Structure 1
Amino acid sequence: MRTSAMQWQPWLILCVAVISAVASEQLEGPRGFPSFYSDVTDEPIDYLDVLNHKDEGSGSGMGVPEVRVSRKQNHSKMFITQTTKEYLTGRWMTLFIPSVYTMVFVASLLLNGLAILMFIFKVKLTKPAVIYMLNLAFADLLFILLLPFKISYHFSGNNWTYGPVMCRIVTAAFYCNMYCSVLLVMCIAIDRFLAVVYPMQSLSWRSRENAIIVCVSMWFLSVGGVMPILLSEQTARIPDLSITTCHDVLDIKQFQGYYLYFFPIFCFVFFFIPMIVTSVCYIRIIQCLGSTNVASKCRKTRAIFMAVVVFTIFIVCFAPTNIILLTHYLRFANGYNENSYFAYLISMCLGSISCTLDPLIYYFGSSTCQRHLHNLLFCKGDAVEISYAKSDSQSSKMETFSNSLQSSQYKKLLA
């Protein structure tokens, strides 16, 4: 019986190891730097074998001597490359990135907070442009409210101390708010395109109700897109550095599996399609404004300049991040490269500055919004609705439409 039990023990250990490995692989999530697993042998572990024979010196006949047999246990141990270690412990990730996030947090919290207060108390939420801007301000505000977790994580040497569940929530919400901002910027571009290029034809489409439906759809789309991140494990223990990373380390096999397809599709849906749509809209807006004759050359120049600035900031803040992320995951089809993920972290950090720039170019760049902000800060005036040039009667609308349209086209870019 002892020999039979000893023969079955290696098979039982092997089955347990296989089941544990499969379960662990199913729980891996999308992270950045690659990790590897190798089989290692621990120091001998004592297993207790019981010999069921009678102790001749015992009258009871139930004596059982203990025989300890030393056996070696094999298991997988995660390790990372020397380059990854240098990145995780270097000053770029432990000092530069959290410092930038800290500055973005302080500035964006103030600007977006003022923008939301202005929209709520000083602007009537009747125009689609105002609905989109309010949602963009909320998305930016929620994004920066997550930055203290990232700041603490990086300042602590990329050591996550808030638990695996909180890591999943913060990571998913981080991506959700970031890409919801991208979608809302696209919606603002479409709304301005319709208002400037097709002002009369789009009157029935550009309603408050439709704007609310579009914003709700963008939020649902963003939440749905990050569900795989929310439901998968994001933390990884790095024994060599005695830290627990959040969203930054992944088994090399995971890169070459499911997430090799997930993140390219994710980037295509949540950035490249919005980028194409936004680019077309602003190019057509600039062309339309440039071909319009207007008495005030200063107003025309300012409107074109604002359109160029908005479009440029969108491309500069979001394009490098998503192009690098797409390239990073596509490279894992044939190998791996830690440098691309490090470049992604830096570009995402710098791209977060868009949360500070959005209030300046969308809200406070308008003279009307500046007046509302002044009234809000000094508790003056009542709510004033942002309105476009209108005439008092139907006949006067048709009579003076061409003149008023030229003037209102510029206001629509700033509302």
Structure 2
Amino acid sequence: MQRCNTTLCLSVYIVTFVLGLPANVLAFYTFCKKVRQKPTPIDILLLNLTISDLLFLLFLPFKMQEVMNDMIWDMPYVLCPLSGFVFYMTIYNSTFFLTAVSVERYLGVAFPIRHSLKRRPVYAVAASIFFWIFSIAQLSIVFIVPFIGPEHSPFTTESHNASANSTSGDSRVDVCYENFTEPQLEVLLPVRLELCVVLFCIPFLISSFCYINFIRILSKLQHIDRRRRLRAMGMALGTLLVFALCFGPYNISHIVGFINWKSPDWRDQALLCSTFNACLDPLIFYFSSSAVRGNVGSVIEGVKIRLQRCMSCHLLQALCGGITKTTQDKEHTQEEINAI
């Protein structure tokens, strides 16, 4: 059975949740506001990417509980395929939306006039609906695999599992989406390879083509402000880096698993890289949207004002306390003199 180091995995999950949730909530509020006022294709795509990340973060506590319980699934069974489905579906859904953003940015600089004339929010809405449906259909394998083979029926009771294990001498414990039988692997491993090719390799190649040409074109445009040009180029390189580092290791595990015909022991560790994507996406939002930068600036300014008010209150209280104390000391001294 694959094992995820408790300290490492729990640390990554907690950091991702603590940093990613408030950042994505702020991004969600910003994009909702922008889409209501004046929708643009890139805002619609980033809004859907934010929703995907928020779904991922909302189901992340189930992974935390699983890791804390030494990868033993002690929660209701229905939560196992549901949490796994949302967990994996949102990871792969992110690759689609990141790719769509790269295409949108490339077309904007490569064909500015033609693209601006044909740029319609409805196209982004249609693409978003397709991405959600396609991801849901592809990751439905999570619900199907547990039903392959009678010994892995989801309706098998824990006591029956325990007795079967004691009879067969198998040391397997009740886990979620692990320890697959040979019939299950015959279905799962080819599907994982297909997920790697369709949901990672192809989107990554498209994103690489779009951002490399995006950078090449921007480097030749001298009429754009240098600072703005460098920021856009840095955003493109950063997005490709996030794409490769977050999604690459986990998808490589699919290829290795197909070749060796078993899940690699390091698959859970590779999944941690994909987890980080939920708190790295807000950085892409920050550099991609002036509205997000404006809201972040407003939040920081609000925090500064509150801190200044708190510090002013503390200083005022200390000053008032000092004046009161001085007055009391004078009165006490006068009382001593009168007593003498």
- The aligned runs of 1:103-252 (5 Å cut-off) are 103-121=15-33, 124-233=37-146, 239=165, 243-252=173-182
Q: Tell me what 1:298 maps to.
A: 227
CA distance in 2, matches of 1:378, 1:287: 36
- The aligned runs of 1:31-50 (5 Å cut-off) are none
Q: Which amino acid aligns with 1:134?
A: L
CA deviations on 1:181-225 (whole Å, 9 max, x unpaired) are 111111111111111111112224421111111101100111111
Instruction: State the 1:367 CA deviation.
Output: 4.4
TM-score (norm 2): 0.77
Normalized per residue, which structure has more helix? 2
Instruction: State the 1:278 CA deviation.
Output: 0.7
Indicate if the aligned counterparts of 1:195 and 1:202 stay in contact, CA closer than 8 A.
yes
Q: Which amino acid aligns with 1:251?
A: T
Indicate if the aligned counterparts of 2:24 and 2:50 stay in contact, CA closer than 8 A.
yes
Instruction: Pick the structure with greater CA Rg.
Output: 1
Q: Which amino acid aligns with 1:118?
A: T
Indicate if the aligned counterparts of 2:27 and 2:285 stay in contact, CA closer than 8 A.
no
SS at match of 2:218: helix
Alignment length (residue pairs): 284
User: Which is bigger in relative contact order (C-alpha 8 A, separation at least 6)?
Assistant: 2
Gaps of 5+ in 1: 1-83, 380-415
CA deviations on 1:119-142 (whole Å, 9 max, x unpaired) are 223563511010000000000110
Q: Tell me what 1:102 maps to.
A: 14
Instruction: Assess, with a 3 A threshold, how the Cα gap between structure 1 residues 122 and 200 changes in structure 2: closer, same or farther.
Output: closer
CA distance in 2, matches of 1:253, 1:141: 34
Instruction: State the 1:232 CA deviation.
Output: 3.2
Normalized per residue, which structure has more strand? 1
Q: Which amino acid aligns with 2:211?
A: Y
2:271 is equivalent to residue 348 of structure 1: yes
Instruction: State the 1:376 CA deviation.
Output: 6.7
Match of 2:280 among 344, 354, 357: 357
Gaps of 5+ in 2: 155-160, 303-340
Q: Which amino acid aligns with 1:110?
A: P
Instruction: State the 1:226 CA deviation.
Output: 1.3
Indicate if the aligned counterparts of 1:118 and 1:373 stay in contact, CA closer than 8 A.
no
Indicate if the aligned counterparts of 1:260 and 1:330 stay in contact, CA closer than 8 A.
no
Instruction: State the 1:317 CA deviation.
Output: 0.9
- The aligned runs of 1:397-408 (5 Å cut-off) are none
SS at match of 1:201: helix
List structure 1 segments (4+ residues) > 6 angstroms apart after TM superposition.
Answer: 376-379
Q: Which amino acid aligns with 1:353?
A: F
Q: How well do the aligned residues superpose, as a CA RMSD in angstroms?
A: 2.4
SS at match of 2:93: helix
Q: Tell me what 1:369 maps to.
A: 292
Instruction: State the 1:241 CA deviation.
Output: 5.5
